[in-house]
Structure 1
Amino acid sequence: MENYVVIDLGSNSVRLRITNIADDGTLTVTHQLKEYVRLSENMGQEKTLKQEPIKRTLQALKSFKDIYSKLENPNVNAIATAAVRQAANQKDFLDLVKKKLDLEFNVITGEREAYLDFLGVTKTLPVKDCLIMDTGGASTELILAKNGQVQNLISLPFGSVTISAAHHLDDKISARHLFDAMTSVEKELTNVDWLTEAHKIPLICLGGSNRTLAKIARRREFQADNLPELHGYRLPSDKAFEIVGDLIDMDKKQRESVPGLAKSRADVVVGGLTPLVLILRTCHIDEILFSNHGLREGSLFEYLENKKQLSWKVRK
């Protein structure tokens, strides 16, 4: 028996997922926690992690360690993505985490992040041909899958926090700022030549802002005590456009009161949904399928597969 621990340190939040792996192979998720730390806050053009976000992150990581360190046979896989990947002071930050918490992070590439997303999605949803989109705080991953295999993938250097900060989409949104944001993101997307192959293909979305869209849509359509599962939830594109339009019309305070939208995301949700809106338009996609599984689950599936292969080699 062991406890497989995944720590996912992103630009906006840090998450903990612990799966108990019994001796007979039974999997039981025992912990799923999230803390909004905004590690990428005020990184600026110099791409430097700042003192306050680092302090918040260390506090969250300590609270996670207090949990997993008490478990039997913890196997910890700490993964850092866009904020740490882009940080000019990456080494100083990683050294500090090691010194304070005796925790070593694996800073993965955007392509590696995209591949783990692919595993998390395709192992848990019945899809073969699809476009997978993960919008994080400072990066957006796109994966084109054909016949259940990765055909193309890319990590783009923008996300909910960075788009919102760069184009002033945090509070009341002006037409000019929204136009600039959409133009900037669209320019990056149109440079991805293989996106033409995703025309009218099923779109699977994950990431905080995209999942927030699903949560808002569910609250509009269903009673709060009878919400369908987010994983596998489907939303027509025209309803997505309607919700995004409503959010654009609101200021931050008004967005904070929207059912399904966490107050901590009210200042970044419009920026975070901008890439999705453009993908829907560019690829002429009429429905979104949402996934609640991505990088953390993909890490687990990869670990189990490697473990199985190792066991097979040993028995042989």
Structure 2
Amino acid sequence: MSYLAIVDLGSNSARMVVEELHKDGTYTEIVREKQDTRIAQNMGAELILQEEPMARTIGALRYFQTRYARFEPEVRAITTAAVRTAKNQSEFLARVKSATGITFQVLTGDQEAYYDYLGVQATLKVEAGVILDTGGASVELIAINHAKNMAAVSLPFGAVNLSEQFMLANDVIQSNIEVASEYIVQSYQNLPWLSSQKGQPVILLGGANRSLARMARTRSGEAEINQIHGYEMSYELVMSIFDEIRYMTRADREQVAGLETTRADIIISGLLPLVNLMRLIEAPKVIFSESGVREGLIAETLSQRHD
């Protein structure tokens, strides 16, 4: 029996899964963990990882080790936008290595988008659409036509840094949302291939987008609000929920059914990449995927083992 542990250090949260790998090329998930580490918190324009988030993150990684050590797995550890852009990246990764023994691969934006594509296609088999993975400090956009990856990009904004840059965490000044939206749309308009995706659905990854699905499923009285893989929402429903929460105080957002309290300060900024993308490409609906970078890594690992 062989096992694979994937440690995924994102800008907002750290996740870990342990998969039991079978000889027939399939796998079974046996452990799943998540910690809200917010490594990107207060990086600012200087792009410096701060002491408290770093210490919090190392604590989470040590906890993950207690959960996967008994399986003696192959460990693949990856990290994304916040660490990728941090000026003290090497110091932080050396500190992680010293404290935990874990060596992280820092994914480029292109690599992150590629693994997103592999993960989505492993389970949803999308023929056409735009994958949007909204993280804490970046978004990845991947155009799919005829089930193929036609174009991909990583843009340097996400739920955490948008919230900090445009002051969207607490009781929001509505004009700040408009300024943030202009910034996002300008970035999208620099992507000439987006215009060819008009009228196609958006396939959603990332914590803020999962929160949107849970809010919608709670609103409709669904019993299992966390089972969102393949779940669809219309453009109208997405905009209805966003327009509802954009006028709430932070305290009110903390009480919204289906929304994690810890995301109340970044849910508006976390949904802005989606709502502006849907408007721009006239997307009729969204489709949620729970398969992304981690599942892409699993698919790659299994493929390499069977080559």
TM-score by length of 2: 0.98
Counterpart-to-counterpart distance in 2, 1:184 and 1:26: 43
Counterpart-to-counterpart distance in 2, 1:2 and 1:92: 33
Superposed displacement of residue 126, structure 1: 2.9
Counterpart-to-counterpart distance in 1, 2:63 and 2:10: 17
What are the superposed Cα offsets for residues 137-162 of structure 1, whole Å, 9 maximum, x if unpaired?
00000000122211100000000001
Letter paired with 1:150: N
Decide whether aligned partners of structure 1 residues 106 and 226 sit closer, same or farther in structure 2, where only a CA change above 3 A counts: closer
Superposed displacement of residue 178, structure 1: 1.1
Counterpart-to-counterpart distance in 2, 1:127 and 1:152: 15
Superposed displacement of residue 216, structure 1: 0.3
What are the superposed Cα offsets for residues 212-271 of structure 1, whole Å, 9 maximum, x if unpaired?
111100000124x35483000000011110100111011111111111100110000100
Counterpart-to-counterpart distance in 2, 1:130 and 1:244: 22
Which residue does 1:20 correspond to in 2? 20
Which residue does 2:263 correspond to in 1? 265
SS in 1 for 2:200: coil
Q: How does 1:13-162 map to 2 (within 5 A)?
A: 13-72=13-72, 74-162=73-161
Q: How does 1:211-230 map to 2 (within 5 A)?
A: 211-223=210-222, 225-227=223-225, 229-230=227-228
SS in 2 for 1:70: helix
Which residue does 1:313 correspond to in 2? none
SS in 1 for 2:35: strand
1:247 aligns with 2:245: yes
What are the superposed Cα offsets for residues 77-96 of structure 1, whole Å, 9 maximum, x if unpaired?
00010010010000000000
Counterpart-to-counterpart distance in 1, 2:26 and 2:208: 32
Counterpart-to-counterpart distance in 1, 2:46 and 2:164: 14
SS in 2 for 1:69: helix
Which residue does 1:194 correspond to in 2? 193
SS in 1 for 2:8: strand
1:170 aligns with 2:169: yes
* Residues paired across the two proteins, number: 307
- Point out where structure 1 has 5 or more consecutive residues left out of the alignment: 310-316
- Point out where structure 2 has 5 or more consecutive residues left out of the alignment: none
Decide whether aligned partners of structure 1 residues 252 and 116 sit closer, same or farther in structure 2, where only a CA change above 3 A counts: same
Which residue does 2:294 correspond to in 1? 296
Letter paired with 1:22: H
Task: Tell me, yes or no, if the aligned pair for 1:172 and 1:251 is still in contact at 8 Å.
Answer: yes
Decide whether aligned partners of structure 1 residues 100 and 228 sit closer, same or farther in structure 2, where only a CA change above 3 A counts: closer
Decide whether aligned partners of structure 1 residues 98 and 197 sit closer, same or farther in structure 2, where only a CA change above 3 A counts: same
Which residue does 1:312 correspond to in 2? none
SS in 1 for 2:256: coil
Which residue does 1:283 correspond to in 2? 281
Task: Tell me, yes or no, if the aligned pair for 1:122 and 1:128 is still in contact at 8 Å.
Answer: no
Counterpart-to-counterpart distance in 2, 1:125 and 1:181: 31
**C-alpha root-mean-square deviation of aligned residues, in Å?**
1.1
Superposed displacement of residue 65, structure 1: 0.7
Counterpart-to-counterpart distance in 1, 2:217 and 2:176: 29
Counterpart-to-counterpart distance in 1, 2:231 and 2:83: 31
Letter paired with 1:111: D
Counterpart-to-counterpart distance in 2, 1:128 and 1:184: 30
Paired-residue identity, %: 39
